[in-house]
Structure formats: structure tokens, C-alpha cells
Amino acid sequence: MINKIKDWLKDKDNLIFLGILLLAILVRLYFFISTLNQPVWYDEADYLSTAKHWASGINYNINPQRPILLPFLESIFFNLGGGESLIRFFLVLLPSIGVVILTYMLGKKLYNKKIALIASFIMSVFWTLLFNTVRIHVEALLMFLLFLSILFFWKGFVEGSNNSKLFFGLLIGLSFLTKFTSVLLIATLLIFLIIIQGFKFLKDRYFWLTILTSFLVLLPYFIWSKIKFGNFLVFIAGSGQVSSVIVGEEIGRPIGWYVFNFIPIFSDTIFFILFFIGLLTLYKLIVGFDLVLGKKHSELNSDLLIILFLIINLLFFVFIQRSAEDRWIMPIALSLFLITAKGVLLIYNQLKKFNKHIAIIAILILLFFGAYEQLDSANELINAKKDTYAQVKDAALWLKENSNPDDVILTASGTQTTYYAERETIPYGDEETTVKKINELNAKYMVVSVFEGHPDWAFSYPQRNNLQPVRAYFADAERTQPLLIIYQFQ
């Protein structure tokens, strides 16, 4: 074993990768430590409140549009006595590091070590991934599972390893339970198989065993969904309102052309230019497309896979979903950075014809300033956002200290309040319905704030009903600009 490690370390490419991995770890630990006590946001608290509901039985209405893998894993930590910091470390930071490792492994598998090193270096400093690494979002875990799925798919359906096909079935099932947009990878891989193999894969019994494996992974979720919500496929109705999205123009939602802007947003200036240069290398895929059909040609197959993954994700969010946030479309970073790495290598190969040392220096300069842009963007955004919703967190902790476990709170920040205060909450609706709910549940506190959306009646209700404020949080030291006020019902 020791001899194998020594032999592995003799390869300079492996040493470079270790340097990249060390960079990825140090950058993530720096941001992890600097944001350790930051307040959680609405989506984060939705998962965490669900986890606490399962772990300790606090009252919380589970959102059917949320996949269950992340909150299920979080609930295990809560049951074992672990807290938010351990959840951040094991379920977000470690998968984020894993994404860098898998980018290298995929780059090496699909292309070569040089492309793998460049792509994994860019992924190590990718600002959007870094930002979501300090938030308890599903994206780091999702990207880890998706990239691992692609790796085993390639080993199984391209290289012919039957055991890898079964591992792929397991992983793609877990990916779906992390985020339902994993179906975009399934669509990508299915189209890829049809192009390179026709329909021969349908005769492969391991293909059907792969589907069976995925189904068995998903079956407990479908059963739970039926028991909990009365519908095996409740996520379809709860996640995106599929039927409405498809007819987006009739309901006034325009085509989401702006989604294409995420390519330069993710890349920043230098890597965006290198991405466009990398696109030039895909001409072989267009010119030699007939070589792909039904045949094995590793580089063209690799180009086909990454460009399909990019295009299918973009087409979905542009024309079907017609909307996206940066984190929804983060998995395309794999395609973006592999293509960018091909662009870097193209420049290197051209400059090397004149002078190898100048070529290396030029590439190192490009990568350095590209990484600086990424890290600067990450640092600026993380620091700008780390104290947002602090008043909501502080208010919820105050409510926990000043209420009984069975007390009910009226608030628009229900997920965060439930997570921190561990009290049942009711949301705002129309005034008549909400007041009826207040009386039925004998709510104790009413929270009004500038955070989340509030109906107009909520701001005048305390004065109209002589409610007295018991706690307030302000934006200024002079206490003239209230951000959040807690009222107590009589």
C-alpha cells in the first residue's frame, strides 16, 4: 500500500492535483469558519425544520415540493445530538470538496489529465459553489451525486462494467431524492445512449436492472408520499406546477432567455473568454458526428455528453421552467469548466509551438487571474449576505425563551421561526381566515417584519386591535427604523 502511494506521488500531475485539492479544502474551510453562526434562510430552514419535525416531533407542515434526502440526513444528525455546524460540515462542505475531486476524475475519464487538472482547479474556486457551500442548500450534495452518477454511467454503459450500471441506478435514485431536476441528467444520458448505440441498450438486462435499482431506491419515498399527502407523485403538483409552466405564455410567463446569462455569470470575464475558445474545439463533434453514431470514439463521445448536458439543462429552464436562480442550474458548471479547460489547452498547444516556457507562464497567468475573479466574487457575496435575516433569527430565539412549547406564533418567516424557536407557526393569509386561525389556535405572538411578504392588513392590524409590542429590532442605532416587531395577543 505504501509503495503504491509513493509511486502515485511520483507522478507530477498527481502532485498538482493534491495542490488543487488542498486549495479547495483551505478556501472552503476559511469561508466555513467565517460564516459558522450566520442565520439560515427560508429554504435552508424549510429543510432543517422538516428534519427537526422528524427528529423531535415539533409541529411543522412538511412542504411536498421538497425532496426528502437532505432533511432525512439532517434528522439523523439531530437524533444523534449533532447540530447545525456538523450538518454544514458533513452534508455541505464535504460534498463540495467531493465535487472538485469528481470533476478531476471525470475530466481524466472523459479526456485527459491536463483537462482534468484545469477543470478541477476552476471548480475549486467556483464562486457560486463556494457561496452555496456556506449555505445549507442541496446544491453541493446534488452536484456530488450527479457527477458520481455520470462517472458510473460512463464506466457502465460506455466501458461495459455491469456492476457500475447498478451503482449508477442507486446514485441516480439518490440524486432524484436530493432534487427533482435530476431528471435532466436522466434525459441527457438516455439521449446520449440512443445516439451512440441506437436502441441496443434496451436488450441489455443490466439496463433494466439499473432501472429496477433506481425504482427500489425511490419506492420508500413514493409510499411515504402516498401515506403523508395521499398522492404517490405529490412532488409533481408541488414542484413547479408542471402543467402551468408548460403553457407559460398563456399565464403570462415569458420565455426565460435570461437563463443564458448564467454562463458568463458563472465564469466571470477570463474564464468566459476561455469557454468560448473551448467551444472551438467542439467543431470535431459537428464535422465528425457520423463517427459518433453507433461507434466508439472516446473524445467525440465525451464532447457529445458534456454538450448534451449543457444544452438540455438550458433548454429546460429557458423554455419549460422559464425561470431559474443561479443555484438551480449549477450542475452545468461541469460542462462549462471542461469546455473552458479545452480552451486553455488549445491556447497552450498553440503557444507551445513557439516556446513551451512562455506557454506555461501564459496559462498560469490566465488561471491565476481567473481564479482571483472567482474568489473575489465569492468573498464579496458571502460577506454581504452572511448577516441577512439576523433579526429573524434573534426574534425566533427570543420567542423560544419567552413562550411555552405548545404556543403558536403568527409569522411570515415560518420556516426560520419553527427551526430556531421550535414552536408551531401559522402563515399570513387574508385577514378573515388568518384571524379565525389565530382564535382557533389561541396564538400568543404576532411577528411583523420587512422580511418575506406580508399582506397590507398585517401592518395596521396591531394598531386596530390595540396589540402592544413586546420586542423590536431596528436597522439603525437610533432605533428609528424598525425591521421586525413582535406583538403579543391579549
The per-residue pLDDT for range 202-239, each reduced to its tens digit, is 999 999 999 999 999 999 999 999 999 888 887 775 44
From 327, 351, 385, give the residue that closes a domain: 385
> What is the predicted pLDDT for the residue at 243?
37
Are 224 and 248 part of one and the same domain? yes
pTM: 0.94
Q: Count the domains in the chain.
A: 2
> What is the predicted pLDDT for the residue at 290?
62
Are 288 and 372 part of one and the same domain? yes
Are 277 and 148 part of one and the same domain? yes
| 148 Cβ contact list (under 8 Å, min separation 6) | 98, 102, 171
> What is the predicted pLDDT for the residue at 147?
98
Residue 453 sits in a domain whose CATH number is 3.40.190
Are 405 and 377 part of one and the same domain? no
Task: Map residue 397 onto helix, strand or coil.
Answer: helix
> Which candidate, 28, 152, 33, 176, places its Cα nearest to that of 92?
28
Are 13 and 29 part of one and the same domain? yes
Are 200 and 337 part of one and the same domain? yes
> What is the predicted pLDDT for the residue at 296?
60
> Which candidate, 348, 347, 488, places its Cα nearest to that of 409?
488
Are 372 and 404 part of one and the same domain? no
Are 445 and 338 part of one and the same domain? no
Residue 252 DSSP class: T
**pLDDT, mean over the chain:** 92
For residue 170, the enclosing domain spans 2-385
- Please name the residue ranges forming H helices in 80-204: 84-88, 94-110, 113-124, 127-133, 139-153, 162-178, 183-197
249: confidence class by pLDDT, cuts 50, 70, 90: very low
Are 331 and 478 part of one and the same domain? no
| Separation between Cα atoms, residue 80 and residue 31, nearest integer Å | 26
Q: Which residue has the higher pLDDT, 335 or 284?
A: 335
From 337, 365, 385, give the residue that closes a domain: 385
Are 274 and 401 part of one and the same domain? no
Lookup: cell for 70:
437532505
Percentage with pLDDT > 90 across the chain = 85
Are 40 and 171 part of one and the same domain? yes
From 339, 355, 385, give the residue that closes a domain: 385
Are 106 and 224 part of one and the same domain? yes
> What is the predicted pLDDT for the residue at 440?
95
